[in-house]
Amino acid sequence: MRAVLRSEISKQRGAVLIVSLVFMLILTIIAAASMQSSTLQERMSGNAKDTNLAFQSAEAGLRAAETALSQINIGPFDGTDGLYRHCADPTDTATACVEPDWSNHSSVGWQVMAADVIPYASKPPEYFIEELVSVADSNQILDADQPVATLVFYRVTARGYGASNRSMVVLSTTYKRNN
């Protein structure tokens, strides 16, 4: 009986070790794949949060510009304080006609808001306003003793940053004002 038992043990030598190593290899591959997946999901959620913060910052810039446009006196559109004119001639290089490049992070000429408007943003929101065109209001009732109202259109461009300088959202809108 002892001889039979020894021959069976010698036949099974190492089989358990190989099976357990294969299982360990499979578990290691599954663990590595789930770590990679969770790392990717964490990056995606961080980027989504950063983009949302940049969007909210740009939206705050748009609202500030619209508030400035609703004032009685806006100021001269001479290329300072974020106020520009839209010039029909693209070769016109007057200061009032050359608005900032929205895609250049270091461009100047923007109206910069207070730093505490969006507390976690890397930079405060910025905007500029372009005076586009003035036209007579065609829907107004023409009375003999009333002047025809003039509608002035403006393009507002705002950009906001997220928690890092790498995320930037640019929003643009058109604003109509009665003069």
Contact present, 58 and 157 (Cβ < 8 Å): no
Work out the average pLDDT over 163-169.
Answer: 89
pLDDT at 58 (0 to 100): 94
pLDDT at 4 (0 to 100): 59
Q: How confident is the model at residue 116 (pLDDT cuts 50, 70, 90)?
A: confident
How many residues does this entry show for the chain? 179
Q: What is the pTM of this model?
A: 0.73
Q: How confident is the model at residue 119 (pLDDT cuts 50, 70, 90)?
A: confident
pLDDT at 62 (0 to 100): 95
- Residue with the bigger pLDDT between 61 and 72: it is 61
Give the residue among 156, 125, 129 at the shortest CA–CA distance from 58: 125
Give strand ranges (E) for the chain: 83-85, 111-112, 126-136, 150-161, 168-178
- Residue with the bigger pLDDT between 132 and 133: it is 132
Which region holds residue 5: left if phi is over 0, alpha if psi is between -120 and 50, else beta? Answer: alpha
* Res 9 pLDDT > 90: no
Mean pLDDT of the chain: 85
Give the residue among 78, 79, 58, 77 at the shortest CA–CA distance from 158: 58
Q: For the chain, give the percent of residues with pLDDT over 70.
A: 87
Q: Return the exposure string of 92-123: e unless at least 16 CB atoms fall within 10 Å of the residue's CB, then b.
A: eeeebbebbebeeeeeebbbebeeebbeebbb
* CA 52 distance to own-chain centroid: 7
The token duo for 100 is 């900032």
Q: For the chain, give the percent of residues with pLDDT over 90.
A: 38
pLDDT at 6 (0 to 100): 64
